[in-house]
Structure 1
Amino acid sequence: MLKPLKNFNLLGGRTIKTGVSVFITALICGFFNFPVIFAVITAIVTIEHTAADSIKKAMVRFPASAIGALLATSFYALLGKEAITYALAAMLTIAICHKLKLDDGIIVATITATAMIPEFHDHYFVSFITRLGTTSIGIVVSTFVNFFLLPPNYFPIINKNINELFTHSSQLTIRIISSTKGDSNEKTRNISRSYRQLTAKLEKAFQLSQYQREEWKYHRHTIEQMSAFQLSQKKLAALQQIAYHLGNLQYAHVQPDDFSTEERTLLKGIVQSFAETLENQEHKIGEDQYEKVEKLDHLFWKWKELHVEYSDKTKRQLPPQTILMYELLSFHDVLEELERICAQYEESVVSSGST
């Protein structure tokens, strides 16, 4: 019954789990005649991205909530329902939780401390136990729901992001190499913006990978799933290196007349080959690319010999043309490694299928 809801774009897995957590929490509190609002608020803010995070943070949130409830009770007993009571309860809850390294529980603890002040009764100890109990119900319910209901699977999103990153890298490579030192500020800003978007997407993919790795600590996965995940991690590592070289290429602008017509044709052909390899699902490198890279290698050493200026025995200045060729050669090395890991994965899939 939940699967159609999950597939509906409006309701993601985490949204559904939040609703289920709130529903169960409210039912339990209603059965024991406990105040519902504290438990429900806690259930809402404690749903995490992974079951691992829920379990780990639940162990922090319970003692943090106890601190918040104790401080609220103490200040209410001393000062009553005054504005200063709210302020002191909130500030000291944050400070003490931070000092005790309970940072993951600060939000829940602060909500517990401030929200319980208006509802205090004369029996302070009973109020303390009741509020701590309702908060604990919210924490426990949300943790169990996050663990057992609709365990998140980030792998399809990771794969989609990786494919988009390769396409983005392909387009950005062509844009960077086609730019020159005299380009307008607007074009330069667009390239820089596109590069920042690439690195942000890459960082997001690594974050999702970490979520998936944590999730698999508590849920079963097949050998095939693990092999595919390891391949995705190697692809992300390759993309990280590619992003590094693209970042360097941004600052190696050259003028069209810095190379001969033949050299410019060679560079343009190499970049086009790189773009095709990046967008190829198997990232296979054609023989034409190897031939062009070999020519580029000879050109690099020729330029290095003729144009590198030595200011003394230890320092040297590389012209932008040489830097550009060096980065392209390094780029090709990454593509070779990418082709190798994809081929190894395909071989392992074939061999496992035959057995």
Structure 2
Amino acid sequence: MHSSIKKYFPLGGRTIKTGISVFITALICQIFNFPAIFAVMTAIVTIEHTAADSIKKAFVRFPASAIGAFLSVSFYTAFGKTAITYALAAMLTIAICHKLKLDEGIVVATLTAIAMIPDFHGNSFGSFFVRLATTSIGIIVSTGVNFFLIPPDYTNVIHKNINNLFQKSANLCLNISYLLLDHNTNQKQKNKLLYQQINRDINHTYRLIAFQREEWRYHKYSKDTFRQVHMWQKQLNFLQQIIDHIGNLRFVHLKENSFRSEEKKLLHNIFVSVAEILKNPSHTISKEHYDWIENLNNEFWHWKEEHIQTIESPEHLPPQTIVLYELLFLHQVLENLQQMTHNQSKIEDDK
């Protein structure tokens, strides 16, 4: 249903749900002749990323709103529609909700308290119950829309994010090679920004996976979807390790004569190969790559024997050794990534 709605209305799912929630909330208020503004405001601010969050936070927002409405009535009765009424209603609503661990309801409660003050006419306690009812309508409607009408589905976004992350990681790998081997210092700031962006995207995708798992507590899902999301979680874990190793290379300072020409060629081949492995959906490691890694491993032990024996502490390791070390560990992560992807493909082929 979600996809069919978006086909004709090219808006985000949360935007569509907000519009539907506002419409239904306003309609209910019109039927009961309630002022719709409080209910509509509540419906707007209570739309959540998942149905699970909507249900959980609804049980917090209702008592918080009751506190805000009660304080608003109390201070209006004492001081009327004055500046002190607004200030005290806002401050004490926030303080009491925080003290009672109702933090998720602070925004709704404060809006309820403040918005009630200009609209008081006659019976204050009658206004209290009307405002509490309209706020409750907004909470119930937004929760219901989130749960029943358009259940959140983040699988397509997660898949797209991970594909983009592998492409960006491959680009970062190549950029690092230009910095290390070609001494292209123009890449330094670009690498830093790309590295930071990749880490932000990884963290954001972790959050989407957490949202999707929360959603499964209330909605049905297939075993295939569960396995797919589980694989994406593992891919993200590997990506984080890959980015950590590539990121460490940003801080290595090599002189132009740090490596011989044949060593530079070997390192260049490995960097390009790593980028190709990351871009390849199957993450297949070629025989050539294994040969290069074997040569790299030999170089590493050669450097260790020549230089590390005389080093007093790890902080003074030669930069050449650090480059070889990070690439060898990066290869181990790629092997694990390839094995996991191969196992997943085999499961799908056996169906």
TM-score after normalising by structure 1: 0.95
CA contact (8 A) 1:309 1:318 kept: no
CA distance, structure 2, for counterparts of residue 266 and residue 310 of structure 1: 26
Give the structure 1 partner of residue 190 of structure 2: 190
Structure 1 stretches of 4+ moved >6 Å: none
Q: SS where residue 257 of structure 2 aligns?
A: helix
Give the structure 1 partner of residue 260 of structure 2: 260
CA contact (8 A) 2:181 2:268 kept: no
> 1:221 and 1:2, CA in 2 relative to 1: closer, same or farther beyond 3 A?
closer
Q: SS where residue 53 of structure 2 aligns?
A: helix
**Unaligned residue ranges in structure 1 (runs of 5+):** none
Q: Where do residues 250-329 of structure 1 align in structure 2 (5 Å cutoff)? A: 250-308=250-308, 310=310, 312=312, 317-329=316-328
CA distance, structure 2, for counterparts of residue 299 and residue 203 of structure 1: 35
Give the structure 2 partner of residue 34 of structure 1: 34
> 1:43 and 1:341, CA in 2 relative to 1: closer, same or farther beyond 3 A?
same
CA distance, structure 2, for counterparts of residue 20 and residue 283 of structure 1: 43
CA distance, structure 1, for counterparts of residue 112 and residue 321 of structure 2: 62
Give the structure 2 partner of residue 66 of structure 1: 66
CA distance, structure 2, for counterparts of residue 52 and residue 302 of structure 1: 56
CA distance, structure 2, for counterparts of residue 158 and residue 192 of structure 1: 24
CA distance, structure 1, for counterparts of residue 319 and residue 241 of structure 2: 20
> Which amino acid in the other structure matches residue 338 of structure 2?
E
CA contact (8 A) 1:97 1:105 kept: yes
Alpha-carbon RMSD:
1.7
CA distance, structure 2, for counterparts of residue 106 and residue 185 of structure 1: 49
CA contact (8 A) 1:182 1:255 kept: no
Deviation, 1:177, is: 1.9
State whether structure 2 residue 87 is matched by structure 1 residue 87.
yes
CA distance, structure 1, for counterparts of residue 2 and residue 164 of structure 2: 29
> Which amino acid in the other structure matches residue 247 of structure 1?
G
Give the structure 1 partner of residue 344 of structure 2: 345
Deviation, 1:309, is: 5.5
Deviation, 1:122, is: 2.7
> Which amino acid in the other structure matches residue 188 of structure 1?
K
> Which amino acid in the other structure matches residue 43 of structure 1?
A
> 1:128 and 1:104, CA in 2 relative to 1: closer, same or farther beyond 3 A?
same
CA distance, structure 2, for counterparts of residue 121 and residue 240 of structure 1: 59
CA contact (8 A) 2:21 2:145 kept: yes
Deviation, 1:262, is: 1.0
CA distance, structure 2, for counterparts of residue 149 and residue 255 of structure 1: 61
> Which amino acid in the other structure matches residue 191 of structure 1?
N
Q: SS where residue 151 of structure 1 aligns?
A: coil
CA distance, structure 1, for counterparts of residue 29 and residue 42 of structure 2: 13
**Unaligned residue ranges in structure 2 (runs of 5+):** none
CA contact (8 A) 2:178 2:184 kept: no
- With 116-125 and 168-177 compared, the bigger mean Cα shift is at 116-125
CA distance, structure 1, for counterparts of residue 182 and residue 229 of structure 2: 43
State whether structure 2 residue 161 is matched by structure 1 residue 161.
yes
Q: SS where residue 328 of structure 1 aligns?
A: helix
- Deviation per CA, 1:93-147, whole angstroms, max 9, x where unpaired? 1111112111111110000000001111232221111111110010001000100
Give the structure 2 partner of residue 120 of structure 1: 120
Give the structure 2 partner of residue 108 of structure 1: 108
Q: SS where residue 258 of structure 1 aligns?
A: coil
CA contact (8 A) 1:181 1:255 kept: no
Q: SS where residue 26 of structure 1 aligns?
A: helix
CA contact (8 A) 1:158 1:209 kept: yes
Deviation, 1:189, is: 1.2
> Which amino acid in the other structure matches residue 326 of structure 2?
E
Give the structure 2 partner of residue 336 of structure 1: 335
CA distance, structure 2, for counterparts of residue 3 and residue 290 of structure 1: 44
> 1:189 and 1:181, CA in 2 relative to 1: closer, same or farther beyond 3 A?
farther
CA distance, structure 2, for counterparts of residue 49 and residue 229 of structure 1: 17
- Deviation per CA, 1:64-120, whole angstroms, max 9, x where unpaired? 101100110110010000011111101111111112111111110000000001111
Deviation, 1:349, is: 1.3
CA distance, structure 2, for counterparts of residue 206 and residue 55 of structure 1: 22
Deviation, 1:233, is: 0.6
Percent of residue pairs bearing the same amino acid type: 53
CA contact (8 A) 1:166 1:239 kept: yes
CA distance, structure 1, for counterparts of residue 68 and residue 199 of structure 2: 40
Deviation, 1:316, is: 6.3
CA distance, structure 2, for counterparts of residue 8 and residue 278 of structure 1: 36
State whether structure 2 residue 43 is matched by structure 1 residue 49.
no
Deviation, 1:19, is: 1.3
CA distance, structure 1, for counterparts of residue 16 and residue 106 of structure 2: 25
Aligned residues: 351
Q: SS where residue 252 of structure 2 aligns?
A: coil
Give the structure 1 partner of residue 7 of structure 2: 7
> Which amino acid in the other structure matches residue 15 of structure 2?
T
Deviation, 1:187, is: 2.8
CA distance, structure 2, for counterparts of residue 268 and residue 220 of structure 1: 48
CA contact (8 A) 1:25 1:138 kept: yes
